[in-house]
A and B are shown apart, each in its own frame.
Chain A
Amino acid sequence: MAFYVVQFLTGLASAASLFLVASGLSIIFGVTRIVNFAHGAFYMIGAYVAFTLTERLSGAFGFWGGIVVAAFAVALIGVIVEMVLLRRIYHAPELFQLLATFGLTLMVEDLVVLIWGPDDLVGRRAPGFRGAIDFFGQNIPSYDLFLIVLGPVVLGILWLLFQRTRWGVLVRAATQDRDMVAALGVNQKWLFTSVFAVGVFLAALGGALQIPRDAVHHAMDLRIIVEVFVVVVIGGLGSIIGAFVAAVLVSELNAFGILIFPKISIILVFLVMAAVLIVRPWGLFGKPEAPARKTPGLTVNPWRPLTSNERLAALAALVIAATLPLFAGNYALTVGSEIAIFVIFAVSLHFLMSVGGLASFGHAAYFGLGAYGVAFLAKMAGLPMIVCLLLGPLLGCMGAAVFGFFAVQLSGVYFAMLTLAFAQIVWSIAFQWVSVTGGDNGILGVWPSSWAASPSHFYWIALGVAALVTIALRAMVFSPFGYALRATRDSLLRTEAIGINAKRIQWTAFVIAGTTAGIGGALFAYLKGSVFPDNLGISLSVDALVMVLLGGVETVSGAVIGAIVYKALNIWLVSQTDLSKLVLGGFIVLIVVVFPKGIVGMLEMLAQRRKSTSPPGATLLAKPMGSAE
Chain B
Amino acid sequence: MNRYFKTIRLFWSTAFASQLEYQLNFLIELLAMLGTLLGSVFILSLFYTEGRQLGDWSWESALVIQGVYTFLDGLTNALLRPNLTEIVNYVREGTLDYVLLKPIDSQFWLSVKKFSFAGLPEIILGLSIVFWAAIQSGSSFSIYSLSLFIISLLIGFVILYSVWFLIAASSIWFVKTWNATEVLRALLAAGRYPISAYPVTLRFIFTLVLPVAFLTTFPAEAILGELKITILFFGLMLCGLFFFLSRFFWKFALKHYTSASS
Asked if A pairs with B, the answer is: no
State the B residues within 8 Å of A (CB).
none
